[in-house]
Structure 1
Amino acid sequence: MLHRLKLAPRLAVLVCLGTGAILATVAYFDYREVQDVLREELERRARNVADATARAMEVVTSEVRKIVAQTAISLRSNPLPVDRIYRLLDATVREHKEIYGTAVALAGVAPVIPYVYREDGGIAHRDLGAGDYAFETLDWYALPRELGAPVWTEPYYDEGGGDTIMVTYAVPIVEEPGGRFQGVVTGDVALGWLRDLLASVDLGDGGYAFLLSRNGTLISHPDPSVVMRESIFSVAEKYGRPEARHVGQSMIRGERGFVQYTALRGGEPTWLAYTPVEGTGWSLAAVFRQRQITSKLVMLSRVQILTSAAGLLGMIAVVLAIAYSISKPIRALDEAAQALAGGDLDAPLPAARGRDEVAQLTRSFGNMQRDLRRRIAELAEVSAAKARIEGDLATARRIQLDLLPSRFVFDPPRPAVDIHAVVEPARAIGGDFYDFFFIDARRLFAAVGDVSGKGVPAALFMALSKAYLKAFVKHGHGPDEALTHINDELAIENDEGLFLTAFCASIDIETGACSYACGGHAPPFIVRAAGGIETVPAVKGPLIGLDGGRCFAAGEFRLAPGDLLFASSDGVSEAQNTEKALFGEERIARALDRLRGA
């Protein structure tokens, strides 16, 4: 499209495109730099928020661990009756708001399991050993008993206990490290305070936090439908988000990270910072919407675009003014060039002032004008000479074709013989020829020849060869003798090194007996009326015209009524298609087979 514009607007467009490309490149790298800075700022903020929230949770969980561990130590060293245990647990729950409930299950002491917990703003007591509460199978009892170490359980709904969603820190009571198991002391933490804590964290517009257990279960999440019902892996599978699975695996391994993350619902791009909550096996994630970065980038980009556009408009005005001052003399020169193109070789050119490029171009046009006048005069002379040569070649072609038989009927008529021939020179004139005539009433002589090379020398050599061949045959020589005499005559003073290939035969039209000779020519084909295609047997015979004193062998074959003898020059077999593949003898044979009987 630019080539349709004139010089001034084209120069303006090109300068603006180049400048725009530079500004766009600078803007792109500025955008990336600002994006990286904003991302780093967001990452620091996200990590700080996640770490601060995790520390706030660690304060609660570490306090729970300390309280439950102290209770276990006191019961190990000083076993108490059930009523005193209730009072101890009651005091613990009242003094520590972070504890939802606490219980003591002593091995071998059944069925009383004191449990004190919060209910309706007050403190309630319950015996977990009463009824069918199968505490021995629950994690808070079975895990510390089997492991011999304190554990945080997976979140669960404690039906029959606190009747709420909670996690439990359970400490085994043992006589000494590795000693006899005496029971378990538990501290329950209701998940409601976790939800309130995470909801209070400032994560910007649309940000949120969620908490995973050591197995990936969603302990806390803004969507209550997934809490305790889904894990990060089941949600990732449900929404087809393999990247969420990778994040979940990293989180439950206790790793820290900051990654780009696609929200499971809605597919909104976000950033996610996650960190472990020490001592619990949990992992906390803080999610920030990516638009917290992009909104600032959009604002900066708008300012940059407006500034660049104003600069481009000013540059366009300056470039147009400069371009028009340069193009004015060029337009004058263009008008003169149009006159030259219209055939006015004497059209005046504008004056060439100064030494700049436009002046130099004007001088070059003047030189071209003089050269055109001289070349046109020379071209007229060359065209006249070419027309004369083409006329001479056309005359030579007509003469050459007139040397070849053009009538394929005999006088008197010969109904026993059907003959046809055609020649198509590669140039106006060439060296291929054919000839046929009756030697006497019964014998028909036929020949096909091909002179090396093309053009006038080949045509003259062909005319001489044809004349020699007919003269020697008319004097009673057979095909082999005729070729021997022609070879001797043509070899005399053959300084050009031209040579001839030929096949000739004498055919008895009554018996079908044929005697033939060949000088470096491809043997012809015989298409039998009875079926089948044969090649005339090869006989000894060199190229004709290169070396005198050579002999040519004679051969014989017989034609039956209806048989066809087909002879051609190498112009047929060596013809090439668009892929440079030769037509070849095999294709000739197949073509003859298809034409048999036609």
Structure 2
Amino acid sequence: MKHTYSRSFATRLSIYVLSFTLIVFATIMGLFYKYSHEKVTNFAIERTHSLLNNITTEITSQLNSVETTINQSIWVLEKNIEQPDSLHNIITSIIKNNPLIVGSGIAFVPDYYKEKGRYFMPYVSFRNNKIAYQVLGSQNYDYLHMDWYLIPKMLKQDYWSEPYYDDGGGNIIMSTYSKPLYNNRGELYAIFIASISLSQFTDNISALKPYPTSYTYLLSRNGSFLTHENRSKILNETVFTEAFSTENHAQEHIGREMLAGQTGTMHIDNLGTDSYAFYTAIPGIGWSICTVCPSKIILQELDSTSRKIIYTFLTGILVLFIIVYSIICRLVRPLKRFSESAREIATGRFDVTLPQVHSKDEIRDLHDSLAYMQKSLSTYVNELKETTASKERIESELSIARDIQMGMLPKIFPPYPDRNDVDLHAILKPAKEVGGDLYDFYMDGNRLYFLIGDVSGKGVPASLFMAITRSLFRTLSHQVLSPAKIVTEMNNSISDNNESNMFVTLIVGILDLETGVMKLCNAGHNPPILILPDKHVSFMEFPTQIFVGVIEDFTYTDAEITLEKGSKLFLYTDGITEAENTEKELYGDDKLLEVLSANTSSNVRTTVDVIVSSIADHVKEAEASDDLTILLIQYEPEEKTVK
């Protein structure tokens, strides 16, 4: 028989080793990735916030420089306040001295200079690399109602305006710093302004890319985009516009945090892309700046490194598998040869030569064990052959003994087909090959001599004792009219030299077929059952007498009864009432009486067959524990049926 080794021991062991290695590696790799993920994320947060802090510091510094420039120019303005036409020199110097300022002007209260009219706002701007001077203020450019004028006037403090598009002065998107000026009486007489272009921040903020594909935007104090990678959103959308339209609560939360001047980091879904948002506030102006970066970009290097490690490990695993498999195959190669030797030994070739083993390990132990098994099997098979031959011989002898034993008993039924005054039927089923139960009967004129007995023990000794008992019955009962005398003589013969201390229970009876008188002697046997013509069924009562073969010279006595015509005598051994099922429940006297009572009208053969079938239904799969013997006699049956 050929075997395939696609699932050999070497393959399975190699797979187990490598599987365990993979599990350990996967566990370590998982812990490494989790730890590294946390470290990389924390580094990204620290790095990005550091960059944001740098740019907010730079923006704050630039805004402070604008405020400082205005504040330092106030004294020059106040000194030349009486010469309105010379004011343009002051604001021109402001433009020249601070490159951040793209426009500066002084918006006077209405009619401050009567000769200048209601509006008077000298304004200098820097455009196209040139400084331009103009006087603003008219019905079309009513600065008195502009935020950069009204709010500082009402608040009575410096103010940075919300970004706006100045189409009258700078004609660009700008934010204006407003400084209210008061005279000695505390009355407001002008708003001194300096405007900066937001385009100056765009380049710096757009250049803030901590990671590729990340972007940064700047928010005003009301949430409008001042800078954004999508320029169409600048001053046209707020941070909440997109959050409300897509029901992105995380982005809405970020907007609220930024407007509140908070600093933080949040993991968000940015238009379907898993991202991180890093935000912080710009002090003093109410603006906030935020950098958005996809998570995969932050973890890109970690993922790339992890993949390289995994690919390298898998390549190593493949090489390791080949090496381990080769080593294990070399180590277990003797096992294959031993397996082939074991199969040959199993076919009976005990002289097969085992492979030589030079190592001193478990393989050597296996070699020694197989060698010992060879020797033991050879010895065992030889002994088994002898035992089998002996068993077959014993079984043959037992079969012969059984045939001899059963041949001693009457087994032709009905035994007296030419007589109408008696009918009987008997059965004997040994529990083993041979048994110790017996029955016998014969006719002597008009007298029916009958016997039923049960020898103590089972098997061959009981069968020999049974044969002796039956022979004594035939020898001693001839022309004897007393069953008690027959039993007494049998007891004396058996008790003499009974070194085995075996005994037999007996019922010996003589039935006179002319008168119906029946004499019985019961030597310790189960009481027979009498079935009367009126269908009454009952046990017969006898005085207690000792077993045959126990005490020599014991005198037995007879019991006498006259049978009515049609009466039946049911004799049996204890194998009937003591038959056990698998639950160790006995068949019992009550069950026997019940079945006999239900079959009082049946002939003797049918009645015996019904009893045997009832016992078989009770016992079922249980092993027979004792011999089964029945002898049923009917005196002058009303109808004789020959089968």
TM-score (norm 2): 0.51
Question: Match of 2:139?
Answer: 131
Question: Match of 1:149?
Answer: 157
* Residue 463 (structure 1) aligned with residue 465 (structure 2): no
* Pairwise CA distance, 1:277: 2.4
| Structure 2: 5+ residue stretches without partners | 112-117, 393-428, 432-580, 600-643
SS at match of 2:53: helix
Question: Match of 1:162?
Answer: 170
Query: Whose Rg is larger?
Result: 2
Give the counterpart letter for 1:319 in structure 2: V
* Residue 326 (structure 1) aligned with residue 331 (structure 2): yes
Aligned mates of 2:298, 2:206 — CA distance in 1: 22
Question: Match of 2:215?
Answer: 208
Question: Match of 1:98?
Answer: 100
SS at match of 2:21: helix
8 Å contact kept, 2:338–2:355:
no
Question: Match of 1:414?
Answer: none
* Pairwise CA distance, 1:218: 0.9
8 Å contact kept, 1:254–1:283:
yes
Matches within 5 A, 1:294-305: 294-301=299-306, 303-305=308-310
Matches within 5 A, 1:511-590: none
8 Å contact kept, 1:172–1:185:
yes
* Residue 9 (structure 1) aligned with residue 11 (structure 2): yes
Matches within 5 A, 1:67-86: 67-71=69-73, 79-80=81-82, 82-86=84-88
* Residue 51 (structure 1) aligned with residue 50 (structure 2): no
* Pairwise CA distance, 1:9: 1.2
Distance 1:330 1:133, change over 3 A: same
8 Å contact kept, 1:336–1:347:
no
* Residue 282 (structure 1) aligned with residue 282 (structure 2): no
Matches within 5 A, 1:426-505: 457=585, 460=588, 463=591, 466=594
Aligned mates of 1:303, 1:456 — CA distance in 2: 74
* Pairwise CA distance, 1:159: 3.5
Aligned mates of 2:53, 2:22 — CA distance in 1: 45
Aligned mates of 1:461, 1:359 — CA distance in 2: 67
Question: Match of 1:520?
Answer: none
8 Å contact kept, 1:145–1:183:
no
8 Å contact kept, 2:122–2:133:
yes
* Pairwise CA distance, 1:124: 3.4
Aligned mates of 1:217, 1:282 — CA distance in 2: 10
| Structure 1: 5+ residue stretches without partners | 382-386, 390-452, 472-598
Aligned mates of 2:253, 2:83 — CA distance in 1: 51
* Pairwise CA distance, 1:31: 4.4
Distance 1:468 1:84, change over 3 A: farther
* Pairwise CA distance, 1:197: 2.7
Give the counterpart letter for 1:103 in structure 2: G
Distance 1:287 1:73, change over 3 A: farther
Distance 1:34 1:121, change over 3 A: same
How many matched pairs? 402
Aligned mates of 2:590, 2:225 — CA distance in 1: 102
* Pairwise CA distance, 1:170: 1.8
Question: Match of 1:220?
Answer: 227
TM-score (norm 1): 0.54
Distance 1:329 1:92, change over 3 A: same
Give the counterpart letter for 1:144 in structure 2: P
Matches within 5 A, 1:220-369: 220-260=227-267, 263-264=270-271, 267-288=272-293, 293-301=298-306, 303-335=308-340, 356-357=361-362, 363=369, 366=373
8 Å contact kept, 1:175–1:181:
yes
SS at match of 2:236: coil
Question: Match of 1:60?
Answer: 62
Distance 1:466 1:183, change over 3 A: farther
8 Å contact kept, 1:76–1:173:
no
SS at match of 1:275: strand
Q: Give the superposed CA RMSD.
A: 4.8
Aligned mates of 1:67, 1:49 — CA distance in 2: 27
SS at match of 1:225: helix
Aligned mates of 1:294, 1:388 — CA distance in 2: 90
1:295-341 CA-partner distances (Å, limit 9, x unpaired): 43355345434543453344324322332233234334544666798
